[in-house]
Amino acid sequence: MESLIQGNVLTIFEGLDEVPAHVDRSDLMKEINILLERGIDYDVTHNKLTYSIYEQKEINNTKDPTIGNRFIVTSRIEGNYFEEINFYIPRLTIEGMSNDALKQFCRSYMECIEDISLKTGKIIKQYETDQLYNNITKNKDIFQLAINPQLASVIVAVYNQYEDKLPEKRIDLYEIAIEQMIERLVTSDINTSTHYVSKELELNTIIIWSIMQEIAEYLHNKVEGLSENILKEIIRKCLIDYQKHSSKIFKVNIDDLISKLVDIFKYQAGLLNEFGHNSFRFIHRTFQEYLAAKNIIYYYGTERSENMIYENIKNKIGIPNWRVPLSMTFGILSKLSVLFNNTVTRLLKTEQTSSNTQSSIVLVPFVIIDSLNDMYFSSNQTEYELIRKLSDMLLFDYKNTSGFSRLIAHQKLIHSYFLKLKIKYDNTIAVWLIEKINSEENLAPCTNIIYQLKWYSLLIT
């Protein structure tokens, strides 16, 4: 308190992007502004801070930003769009690793693996210099993840345990990383600290996956972190549901089982971290997003029904906080080709029907386009047909002169998504545009899209 009064405290508002988008971040900024401009004093008698209306000893020195208590707001880039703070507060975004830094990181990691192997007597094959770095840079999607130091650690761990290979898609990377953590929990190796999870507690990977998915679902719907009591409630629900689903009866008392699992998830699973007193979150939001995405499709290791998956996606697609998990959901779902095709067809059909209303906002194509890099297609024809459907939906939205679509910002958004399609599917989009522009009703919007995005060469084609 004395340091705060003297202006010697550094306060960090960490992770603004962790505040769900459906919670008004501008209100949060207003609260911070109110806090910063309040005058404070120190009550010696009661040893506590008080608000002073006489002496304006502000928590943050609004008159001179170079002295007094300092405040920092940290955020991923997507969380950095909020109402301005009235006073000077630096907003810091973590800088990604440079190519040289990533190369050195990969070298150091592989040297560490070799040293550990030599000490433990494990025989490993010789690695070429920069072999790991070269494998990472070959895959653009994996490479983009690797500039984040925390995710780079996950990537190299997967590489080491996945027979010196990296998965093609980012969703496969997350699947393997989480799967390895869970496998270590349920391993029967007597030398591991958690060998009793499968042997004594009778737990398997399906139960652990299901609990993790429910935790992710809860955290993605809530502002606050996960308290120990809520964690117990989630575990209890999952264990009871699993017993009903599998007709399995646990020999261990369920309350004892819950207590042991709480300790495992808090301290040994490797996925949860404590952020403040009695508030747990995933060590990286990406894991939360992936598990929440998987929960939309899978229920205790089996696919949910087509109707359930469709309803889950339809109910969440309008919630901004679910945009990233949903983009992963389509990637996961694409491995189940029949379910994927049926679900996407229903979503696009429902959206096109509802788009005739005055206030409708088209959302499904944007989320699907964002997930194209994560998708698997059963055939080139299936992929080709989906791209044309998505293009049709964007054009339909672009021609809509009512409601939200009239806004210039929304038109620019549609331009950006046409550009995403063109970058990945240049020839398909060129053929599609030429076909559409020959129709009188599409002439004006297609011409404007070509002009705005400077696709003049398409006309020559």
Q: At what angle do helices 149-161 and 170-186 cross, to 10 degrees?
A: 70
Q: Are strands 57-58 and 302-303 parallel, antiparallel or unpaired?
A: unpaired
Q: What is the pLDDT of residue 376?
A: 94
Write down the pTM of the prediction.
0.78
User: Taking the CB of residue 409, how many other CB atoms lie within 10 A of it?
Assistant: 7
Query: Over pLDDT 70: what percentage of the chain?
Result: 75
Q: Which residue has the tokens 């109110």?
A: 34
Of 34-38, 329-333, 355-359, 365-369, the least confident: 355-359
Q: Is the pLDDT of residue 295 over 80?
A: yes
User: What is the residue extent of each domain of the chain?
Assistant: 2-92, 99-166, 304-460
* CA neighbor of 14 nearest in space, from 79, 73, 99, 77: 73
Q: Which residue has the tokens 């998505």?
A: 390
Q: What is the pLDDT of residue 358?
A: 45
Average pLDDT over residues 205-210: 90
Query: Over pLDDT 90: what percentage of the chain?
Result: 32
Q: Is the pLDDT of residue 22 over 50?
A: no
Of 302-306, 347-351, 354-358, 382-386, the least confident: 354-358
pLDDT band, very low/low/confident/very high, at 458 (cuts 50, 70, 90)? very low
* Two structure tokens written together for 413: 């958004």
* CA neighbor of 104 nearest in space, from 142, 144, 149, 139: 149
For 412, list phi and psi in degrees, rounded to 5.
Answer: -65, -35
Q: Find which of 221-235, 342-356, 418-432 is predicted with most confidence, using mean pLDDT.
A: 418-432
pLDDT band, very low/low/confident/very high, at 270 (cuts 50, 70, 90)? low
| Paired strand residues for 43 | 48
Of 201-210, 246-255, 414-423, the least confident: 246-255
Average pLDDT over residues 353-365: 64
More confident position, 290 or 351:
290
| Paired strand residues for 73 | 13, 91
Q: What is the pLDDT of residue 38?
A: 66
Average pLDDT over residues 431-445: 91
H-run or E-run covering 207:
helix 205-221
Q: Is the pLDDT of residue 266 over 90?
A: no
Q: What is the pLDDT of residue 408?
A: 79
pLDDT band, very low/low/confident/very high, at 314 (cuts 50, 70, 90)? very high
Average pLDDT over residues 391-414: 77
CA atoms of 367 and 421, how far apart (whole Å): 13
Average pLDDT over residues 157-186: 87
pLDDT band, very low/low/confident/very high, at 149 (cuts 50, 70, 90)? confident
Average pLDDT over residues 49-63: 55
Averaged pLDDT of the chain: 80
pLDDT band, very low/low/confident/very high, at 262 (cuts 50, 70, 90)? confident
| Paired strand residues for 10 | 70
Average pLDDT over residues 59-77: 65
Q: Is the pLDDT of residue 286 over 60?
A: yes
* CA neighbor of 98 nearest in space, from 106, 86, 87, 90: 106
Q: What is the pLDDT of residue 285?
A: 84
Average pLDDT over residues 373-394: 93
Q: What is the pLDDT of residue 281?
A: 83
CA atoms of 319 and 21, how far apart (whole Å): 8
Q: Find which of 2-6, 227-231, 290-294 is predicted with most confidence, using mean pLDDT.
A: 290-294
For 300, list phi and psi in degrees, rounded to 5.
Answer: 50, 50
Contact 432, 388 (CB under 8 A): yes
Q: Is the pLDDT of residue 94 over 50?
A: yes
More confident position, 101 or 283:
101
Of 51-55, 82-86, 196-200, 254-258, the least confident: 51-55
Q: Is 157 helix (H, G, I), strand (E, B) or coil?
A: helix
Of 154-168, 204-218, 260-274, the least confident: 260-274
Of 69-83, 100-114, 277-291, 386-400, the least confident: 69-83
Q: Find which of 25-34, 80-89, 436-445 is predicted with most confidence, using mean pLDDT.
A: 436-445
